[in-house]
A = this chain, B = another copy of it.
């Protein structure tokens, strides 16, 4: 058989790291700053076990074993709506609607499915979550990479692109405004307001991807773009992966009411509905337990690691590397000085078994960012952070030795 694959599937850029994630994670000798995983201690196992047992103790099990509505389990949607109104400040039941999705990857997939034809364009931060970029390509749409300027996508370039788009091919702006992946940065409020105004002026939707939003460690939260979406331009995407457990596969969208049914149609054809067990476990955690205290516990757990990683990094000379200090989330992103030899940096890390995500992997074009490397601080232990950053520091020094100096040293040995 001579297999003929669709054009769109052939456009997806393969991320070999993904497939090997578990294998690498489980290698005991590797210090991994690579993946955006929570540590095992972050799972609220005791509460999950209790809630689970209560579900099985119910007389009727249809509520979590039977087919369910594509929109989501009513109990989940109600509990989630309350939290989004009172804590996250993005939900207003008069203007928006909630939909469960099977993880936030599906949220982006369904949005592209509903709004983008083949050949349509989605504006993206040039350095961004490659999974979302692949969701765009998997429908034959084209991501348009726009560079960052400080902590924000370059808004002048966004406007230039929108002005030039006379055929209205640009349908969507994909953003991770809070604790960006991979950069860790957050768009200031003024920039959020300006990009919303641009979207309004040019009739383009915004996808606000916010999987880390609850994990603030320093300063005050910045209002979500969705919080001032009076025109119904913003699809807000959240997830329980980072605040409960990734394998729940429970994420959600807040969708402008008039667009809701079309996204729902895509959900029905994609996977019919999301597993109800985890929707109910999440719902009961929110209603019967102190979910906010659990999240506060995560913040404390991660803040300690976050502060340690930064204090260790701050010992490294800015002549070797720099980074923008995040205020929360899962990642920060180092940038090697131009003079450094990138290949030698990575070779040293591999030889000394420290895993990071190279900047090109978390970029739209999978190139142009080889001086960047992403560091996750939630999964490693404090000891691993100390040891790992020391090795990164050594790798930077090795990468800074000029080739001639190295040859001289070798000859002298």
A→B interface (CB under 8 Å): 1-10, 12, 14-15, 18-19, 21-22, 35, 37-38, 40, 43, 45, 48-49, 52-53, 56, 60-62, 64-71, 102-103, 105-106, 109, 113-118, 120, 131, 134-135, 137-140, 168, 171, 203, 205, 231-233, 241, 245-249, 256, 258-259, 262, 264-266, 268-278
Determine the residue in chain B with the shortest Cβ distance to A249: B275
Q: Which chain B residues border A14 with CB–CB below 8 Å?
A: 265
Looking at A2, A14, A118, A256, which has the most chain B CB atoms within 10 Å of its CB?
A118
Contact A1 B256 (CB under 8 A): yes
- Which of A65, A103, A134 has most chain B Cβ within 10 Å? A65
Across-interface contacts of A8 in B (CB, < 8 A): 113, 117
For the complex of A and B, list the 3 residue pairs with the smallest distance between their C-beta atoms, beginning with the closest: A49-B56, A65-B245, A138-B269
Cα-based distance from A268 to B14 in the complex (angstroms):
10
Verify B106–A270 contact, CB threshold 8 A.
yes
In the bound complex, residues from chain B placing their C-beta under 8 Å from that of A171 are 4
What is the distance, in angstroms, from A247's C-beta to the closest C-beta of chain B?
4
A15 CA to B268 CA, complexed, in Å: 10
8 Å CB contact of A102 from B43, B65, B102, B233: B102
Q: B12 near A265 (CB under 8 angstroms)?
A: yes
What are 26 pairs between A and B in contact, CB < 8 Å?
Answer: A1-B203, A1-B205, A1-B233, A1-B258, A2-B203, A3-B115, A3-B259, A5-B114, A5-B115, A8-B113, A9-B113, A12-B265, A12-B269, A18-B70, A19-B70, A49-B53, A52-B53, A65-B246, A65-B248, A66-B247, A67-B246, A102-B271, A105-B272, A131-B268, A138-B269, A275-B278
Known: A1-B233, A4-B171, A9-B265. 10 other contacts (CB 8 A): A3-B262, A6-B115, A14-B265, A40-B66, A45-B56, A45-B65, A49-B53, A103-B272, A247-B277, A275-B275
Residue of chain B at shortest CB distance from A171: B4
**Contact between chains at B66 and A245 (CB < 8 Å):** yes
User: Min CB distance, A63 to chain B, in Å?
Assistant: 9
Contact of A276 among B48, B134, B247 (CB under 8 A): B247
Rounded to whole Å, the gap between the CB of A182 and the closest CB of chain B is 17
The contact of A270 among B45, B48, B69, B270, by CB within 8 Å, is B270
CA distance A231 to B291 in the complex (A): 53
Looking at A5, A56, A68, A278, which has the most chain B CB atoms within 10 Å of its CB? A5
